[in-house]
Structure 1
Amino acid sequence: MTPRLRIFGKIWDREYFRYLESIVLDLGLETNVVFEVNQPGSELRSALASSDAFVTMSEHEGFMVPLLESFSAGCPVVGMKSTAITETCGPAGALLPTADINAVAGMAVALKRDRDSRMAVIRAQSQRAQAFAEGRTWNKWRMILEDFVPQLRNA
């Protein structure tokens, strides 16, 4: 089976998006690389649920909401140990020390083929997602803000 890369997101910079499209066309990969932009939440969740892995090798991310979306959809995350990816994943996900494309591909294939490993990652991700549940997140913010907004202590 030929691998397919599905790129999700929003178009914030049309010029950059056209640049990415041109790379795909120049390499003749238009059947292997699909841009799925501005997807509604339900379609994104369905796409993640049917994917072999969510891959991120970013070196400059802040908090990664897409990781939590992947966690909740049951899609294993393969990422590089860097920036907030490590903090967001915590003990979950399959994190690699570098952005070595062979290691990334190997991990994605291993998670597709080895059902036990895949399920272990998905279970860990599901547990990790609980740390970011709405009530827990609100309580963490409340504790931080109580020092600055005294009215929150009694609310």
Structure 2
Amino acid sequence: MSEPRKKAGTGARDWQRRFLAALAETSNVARAAKAAGVATSTVYDARRKSGEFRRRWQSALCEGYDNLEMELLGRLREGEIKRAASARTGVRTFDNATAFRLLSVHREAVEKERAGRANVTAAEVRASIERKVAALKARVLARQEAEQLEAEAEGRGSHGE
């Protein structure tokens, strides 16, 4: 029996396209490589060898971190449903603190890519990010204060005050 022929457009460009799409979605190299059907060593090797692939990789990571930032903003604005400890089995949870740390770790690379896209300096991008982080912190603190005031009001109400 003869081996099936590959369709036109498959090969390196095809796995790279799938990898970059998954990387933009997940910001996770290992998961993106798995989604593309290649080993992580293959993607790192391609990144070392190709400046164009390296640029597209960085762009996909920036998109992924933009997505993560928007998800975090959504959670901060909408709140999160917390499940009882007894219902944790099979329930997906999100660790916002880890997500914020991950964003901080990759801040420099993201700043460089954004600056290159917008033709602005890294300092301008950094200032913009710092303004966003400060606004996020302010929202979190305001929400925590509101929750504390609400809890205190409920506590006074249950004591007949």
TM-score normalized by the length of structure 1: 0.34
Higher Rg: 2
Report which of the two has the higher share of helix.
2
Report which of the two has the higher share of strand.
1
TM-score normalized by the length of structure 2: 0.33
